[in-house]
Structure 1
Amino acid sequence: MKILYICTHNRCRSILSEAITNHLAPDLIVAKSAGSQPAGAVHPLSLHYLDEAGIATDSLHSQSWDELEDFAPDLVITVCDSAANEACPVWFGNAVQVHWGLSDPSKVQGSDEETEHAFRECINTIRQRVKTLIPLAEQQLRGQPLRDALNERGISKL
């Protein structure tokens, strides 16, 4: 299964989702991330907390969804509300599209402890959601069967 995570700036939540997915299901899922208005750099705390969790970060970079035109995802997951409201490129084709509203830990205003908590909570939420996708990847579902399976499990409503 191929998954494309979309977030407007592709610097935090979509990056975390890409890295965690590739870490948890390297033989089942190929995950990439992109944005409509990429920041051009991954948020340093995203890299820090992924490194701390033992998740590889060496291939992560902020990029435009235009750079992934040949990727042909089976599933497109928007992770921020602004990306969910954007018109997705036509080249997503028949990809199933769902939305995972994730709070942006990089925007937490507060102490270091509050920021740390926000990043760890976001990472844990992504882990749990990815774990619900793994059985669907094992079944090699695509198109309408994938959409039906996501709806049956409430995954598209997360």
Structure 2
Amino acid sequence: MKKKVAFVCVHNSCRSQMAEAWAKHLGKDVLEVYSAGTEEYPEVKPKAVQVMEEAGIDMSDHYPKLLTEIPQDIDILVTMGCGVSCPYMPCNHKEDWGLEDPSGGPIEDFRKTRDIIKKKVEHLIERVKRREL
């Protein structure tokens, strides 16, 4: 049975979207993946879409979602490190990845964030496969 994981940030426009895309790409055999934010935002950051495209992952159809738009019965809740104060979401495991937001910075900051998120998603998938989560 797949574990439901939600990546949560304030706007769901950059880091949580990249995490969702990596997790769907790398963990489709063990994860059911969602991302959401605590505040509305008009679009996924174009630089986030661009750097994921460079890595071979298409996020052109992604859009920011609110917490109310994803399932509430999550197994794993991952916050991105934005000091986000999330409403209560029942989950079996919660962790914060402490990632700085590259928004407003150069494209290289987005690439670094993309690569850090990939490593963190790979580690999360390994822990799920080992039944640690």
The two structures, once aligned, show a CA RMSD in angstroms of: 1.6
- Distance between the aligned counterparts of 1:94 and 1:50, measured in 2? 28
Q: How many residues align?
A: 131
State the AA in 2 paired with 1:131. E
Which of the pair is proportionally richer in helix? 1
The alpha carbon displacement at 1:35 in A equals 0.5
Aligned equivalent of 1:132: 123
Distance, in Å, in 2 between the alignment partners of 1:116 and 1:58 is 17
Partner in structure 1 of residue 87 of structure 2:
89
TM-score calculated relative to the size of structure 1? 0.75
User: Which runs of 5 or more residues in structure 2 are unaligned?
Assistant: none
Q: Which residue of 1 aligns with 2:12?
A: 10
For structure 1, the residue ranges without an aligned partner over 5 or more in a row are: 109-114, 147-158
Among 96, 99, 124, the residue aligned to 1:102: 99
The two structures have a TM-score, normalised by structure 2, of 0.88
Give the share of equivalent positions with the same residue, in percent.
30
Q: Cα offset for 1:127?
A: 1.0
- Structure 1 residues 95 and 40: CA distance shift in structure 2, 3 A: farther
- Structural mapping, 1:7-156, within 5 Å: 7-68=9-70, 70-83=71-84, 86=85, 88-90=86-88, 92-108=89-105, 115-141=106-132, 146=133
The CA deviation string for residues 76-129 of structure 1, in whole angstroms up to 9 with x for no partner, is 11103321xx1x333x21331110111111221xxxxxx121111101101111
Q: What is the CA–CA distance in structure 2 between the aligned matches of 1:94 and 1:72, rounded to whole Å?
A: 7
Question: Which protein shows a greater Rg?
Answer: 1
